[in-house]
Amino acid sequence: MIVFPKSTLVGKPVPKTAFYRNLEVNAKMKQRFVDSVESITWTAKLAPSTLSVVDGKTVHEIAVFRIELKGEAVPTDVLVFIDRQMPRHTLFLLQHDDDFCLLVNYKEWHDAANTRFDIVKTFQTGWTSADKLSLSLDEQDMDAVYSAIVKQVAGADITSMAKDIHTAVAQTKKQEALRQKIAALEAKIAKERQPKKKFELHQQLVKLKENNE
The full length of the chain comes to 213
Percent helix / strand / coil, the chain, rounded to 5: 45, 25, 30
pLDDT at 12: 96
Please write the tens of the pLDDT for every residue from 82-140. Answer: 898 888 999 999 999 999 999 999 999 887 777 788 999 999 999 999 999 999 998 99
**pLDDT tens column, 142-200:** 999 999 999 999 999 999 889 999 999 999 998 888 888 888 888 888 888 888 888 88
More confident residue, 64 or 208: 64
Residue 6: predicted pLDDT: 95
pLDDT at 25 (0 to 100): 77
Q: What is the pLDDT of residue 22?
A: 62
How many whole angstroms separate alpha carbon 160 and alpha carbon 176?
A: 11
> What pLDDT does residue 196 have?
84
Q: What is the pLDDT of residues 2-27, one digit of tens each?
A: 889 999 999 999 998 887 776 667 78
Contact 168, 148 (CB under 8 A): no
pLDDT, position 37:
93
- From residue 16, give the alpha-carbon distance in Å to each of 11, 81, 124, 186: 15, 12, 22, 44
